[in-house]
Structure 1
Amino acid sequence: MDRVTDHDHRFECVQPELGEQLWRLDTDDVAPDLWRRLERHLRVCDDCRLQRAVHDRLGSLGAAGGIDIEVEPECPLQLRVRRPGRFLAACGGLALAASLVLATLLPPAQPRLPGTSRGEDPESGFLRPVEGEVLNDGTPILSWRPIAGATSYRLEIKQIDGDYGWQEGADGASVRLPAEAALPARGRFLVLLEPVPADLTPLGGVSVSFRRAGLAATLGYRIQAAPLAVHLLGWLGLASLLLAAPIARRRRPSAA
């Protein structure tokens, strides 16, 4: 007889009529004779010892995580969270933190704006930076979609609001700006990409504009330009935190 719900294991209770009453060992009103029989049963039944070990471990994990978990005695492995407000707040905090981390790690979403690649070919254009991206790195990696038939590329960076300029050739579809040509700490820039031969793209080649700014502006941009799934995760976490507060307030009088 398998008394454990939704739990795959290799043991079976040797005396189900006693195993079903094993929870009485944790109560004060168990008869002495029954208590002795249950103790003897626990020494010989691997199934019940396994369940007791799982219950003890769940209790210690709940205490360590600040979540009060109550084990229902008649069906020990079915758990009930006694403090839903705290549990909801913990889940919401984790979701919100995860969304912020993902927003900084994942590349920003490609904007759906006219002129992003500044050409008629949808297969040509920059991968990074994306149009309007805010960077904090002074030596960023520039990458673009390979253009069929191109043997090499010519790159040029112009500062829109200053005198900075840089030109370089590239054999592949990406290049890192060298340290000696690092971008100024602040400014707006335009990157021009021209394949060799030049007639593989529309007149003027492919270009993208971006901005370099401080860390706060960069983080703000990354959060704003994060993928939709990251935004949904963040809103879900925020909603959970807002819902947790009234639940905790409603439960306070009963806890007293």
Structure 2
Amino acid sequence: MLHKINLEHILFLDIETVPEQENFNLLEDAKKELWEQKSKYQRRDEYSAEEFYDRAGIWAEFGKIVTISVGYFKFQGDQRSFRVTSFHGEESKILKDFKILLDTHFNHPKHLLCGHNGKEFDFPYIARRMIIHKIELPEKLNLFGKKPWEIAHLDTMELWKFGDYKHYTSLKLMANVLGIASPKEDIDGSMVKEVYYKEKDLERIIKYCELDVITTAQVFLRLRGDDLLEEEEIKRI
């Protein structure tokens, strides 16, 4: 059924997140206590709450989005291109700009959002941060009252599971086994906090996020049996 989806109707996306503060000691006392409670199960007795705080960015209640990268296909006759861009700046601006994109260009029932592990991470994270910032949810992220088949989300990791709910496969591993050339990334997800707070190199993070969007699109093409994107077809705008 994937081959029946019009590629121009899909918005591919990825987000990068960091802890809301550079370190645990900058949190208010109430938030410190809440973090201790929230992280207790994951860290057990191996780490203190302070030591574990480097991982706080994966929870929307304790982290923030520093960039949302998106990509979409355009066809002009037989010519195909994949256009990539990113939203960055203050988190509220990132979320508002992303909402405008969804509300103006990807607001029709035919439109779909696609990410790798997007259903478990990217989509709910964005929605939660929008609620925190008092931003009205765009239709594509407002799932309340919708039936499963009415939710316009695609997830390349879910597609790879083939019904196996216990299986997790990273985007990098999927790209490898599907014969997709690995992009030359100089960082990985575990380094984003340090690059953001210590190096203050947001452009480096944006480049990494955009490469993940491109790889997600490549994986989706392989799952459909389509030809992969060539470098000259990728346009950064």
Q: TM-score, normalised by structure 2?
A: 0.20
Larger radius of gyration: 1
Higher fraction of helix: 2
Q: TM-score, normalised by structure 1?
A: 0.19
